[in-house]
Amino acid sequence: MSTVALHTLGCKLNMAETSALASQFVNRGFRVVGPGEPADVHLINTCSVTQRANRECRQIVRRALRDNSDPFVIVTGCYAQLEPEEVASIEGVDIVLGSREKPHLFEFFTSTRKHVSPQVHVSDIAEANDFGPAFSHDPSDRTRAFLKVQDGCDYSCSFCTIPLARGKSRSQSIPETIAQASDLVARGFKEIVLTGVNVGDFGRKDGSSLLTLLRELVSLDGLHRIRISSIEPNLLTDDILEFTAASEKMCRHFHIPLQSGNDEILHRMRRRYVSSHYRDLIFRIHELMPSCGIGADVIVGFPGETEEHFETTCMLLEELPISYVHGFTYSERPNTPAAIFDGAVEPRVRFKRNERLRHLCYRKKSAFAKSVEGTLQEVLLEDDCDESHRYGFTTNYVRVGVPLAGSRSNTLVSVHITSSADGICYGSIMNSGMIS
């Protein structure tokens, strides 16, 4: 039996698509092995948000060639779409597939025999109107599933390559989405995470909406949790907030990109909101759902960002009732407007600012975990274990560890939180705490 190792770089959307590609391999008789294991085929689903993601792709190819006996190497995803010739020039690569070609992998991959020279199949992403693979179903972990509901983006943020790599915004129909969600529930998944490039834009072009989809999903029997992976602040409406607050199935957790707390920088980034709107939104969420977990993305070192601009961002983050921050060091991306903006920030300054963000995140995450101590929380336990604990997540996205003995993966349990450390909570399952 031929083997395949799958490597995913980047976002949750890529994870869902890689899982769907894994199913295609399995259906054709392949055995999926871990990314670090020897394999006949290595497939790399790439990201291209930062230069680091491109570098990681090259490193994976080199490692696969070093650790395996002449494997067949396929590279797809955003990096492949944006820089196909550059990817093809990496020694050992056999096939380069663009974003439109990715779902149709086996139309191009017909044999594990290595090619004399790489084949490149990358078409114009501007013509993309199909949807591709839409959900993950890792057989080793039937806890949370990532359901792709939207792809592409019509926004024009000056730093972003996603519209160039994935095309215009498009959504899966609600009936198709509900059918796939039902299938995931039947497979045993208890939580579905809605993912896409711009999830909040779901359904806009066909007269539907994300709220309409959410209303359909909560009616599914056997589905315990619905989580939104990330949503733009200008698309997180009061209707969605009020619906989330009123529904037991909706997770009390939002990941809302900020990118900068300074309006001048937000304008240069071509974001569709100002800092006061973001601030008001976060406090509105906190008012409706005081225990809601809220995450933010922030880019540091964007062209033109001064120390004063950065301080403004830090002050806003300190003020807001958020539970964690993902900090990103700005990376110039080819063919984006920001790549030629004046006011470039020195790399050492970018890294220094990101280090400060990491410390801020640690404090926010630790304080949020501390606030959960002494409470009773519903935790969805996963396969994630160490020598003494099994871990899972609360509805508001706090990681919780319970004693390993007697715990079971993919069960919802009631946990009394007794302590926290480094942003992780610990507790014990109540005697009557097995919910499902």
Specify whether 232 is located in the same domain as 259. Answer: no
pLDDT exceeds cutoff 90 at 63:
no
Q: Each residue of 321-340: pLDDT tens digit?
A: 999 999 999 999 989 999 99
Q: Looking at the structure, do residues 388 and 355 belong to the same domain, yes or no? A: no
Query: What is the mean predicted confidence (pLDDT) over 383-389?
Result: 93
CATH number for the domain spanning 396: value is 2.40.50.140
Q: Let me know whether 119 and 157 are in one domain.
A: no
Q: 38 with 109, same domain? A: yes
Do 334 and 403 sit in the same domain of this protein? no
CA distance 50 to 198: 18
What is the domain-level CATH number for residue 18?
3.40.50.12160
Domain final residue pick, 351, 372, 393: 372
Residue 411 domain boundaries: 373-434
Q: Which of 210, 183, 185, 182 is nearest to 196 (CA)?
A: 210
- Residues 277, 356, single domain; the answer is yes
In the chain, the amino acid numbered 197 is: V
What distance in Å separates the CA atoms of residue 13 and residue 194, rounded to the nearest whole number? 9
**Residue-level pLDDT at 132:** 62
98 and 108, same structural domain?
yes
The pLDDT score that the predictor gives to residue 47 is 87
Are residues 264 and 342 both part of a single domain?
A: yes
- Of 313 and 124, more confident: 313
Tell me which residue of 218, 86, 78 sits closest to 160, measured CA to CA: 78
SS (H, E, C) the chain: CCEEEEEECCCHHHHHHHHHHHHHHHHCCCEEECCCCCCCEEEEEECCCCHHHHHHHHHHHHHHHHHCCCCEEEEEEHHHHHCHHHHHCCCCCCEEECCCCHHHHHHCCCCCCCCCCCEEECCCHHHCCCCCCCECCCCCCCCEEEEECEECCCCCCCCCCHHHHHCCCEECCHHHHHHHHHHHHHCCCCEEEEECCCHHHCCHHHCCCHHHHHHHHCCCCCCCEEEECCCCHHHCCHHHHHHHHHCCCECCEEECCCECCCHHHHHHHCCCCCHHHHHHHHHHHHHHCCCCEEEEEEEECCCCCCHHHHHHHHHHHHHCCCCEEEEEECCCCCCCHHHHCCCCCCHHHHHHHHHHHHHHHHHHHHHHHHHHCCCEEEEEEEEEECCCEEEEEECCCCEEEEECCCCCCCCEEEEEEEEEECCEEEEEEEEEEECC
Same domain, 359 and 274: yes
Task: Give the CATH number of the domain where residue 324 resides.
Answer: 3.30.750.200
Domain count, the chain: 4
Q: How many residues does this entry show for the chain?
A: 436
Domain boundary among 235, 251, 267: 251
Does residue 154 sit in the same domain as residue 258?
A: no
How do residues 123-153 score in pLDDT, each as one tens digit?
988 776 666 656 665 544 568 899 999 999 9
Is the pLDDT at 230 greater than 80? The verdict is yes
Domain at 242, CATH number: 3.30.750.210
d(CA 411, CA 189): 10
Exposed, middle or buried, 340 (CB in 10 Å: 0-12/13-18/19+)? exposed
Reported as half-sphere exposure (CB side, CA atoms, 13 A), residue 230 has a value of: 17
Residue 61 has pLDDT above 80, yes or no: yes
| pLDDT one-digit tens code per residue, 198-218 | 999 999 999 999 999 999 999
Q: Which of 89, 123, 157 is the last residue of a domain?
A: 123
- Give yes or no: residues 227 and 276 share one domain: no
Give the separation between CA 394 and CA 415, rounded to whole angstroms: 10
pLDDT at residue 400 in the model: 98
Residues 8 and 49 reside in one and the same domain: yes
- Beta strands 170-171 and 150-151 are antiparallel
Pairing outcome for strands 293-300 and 95-97: unpaired
- Whether residue 385 has pLDDT greater than 80: yes
pTM for the structure as a whole? 0.89
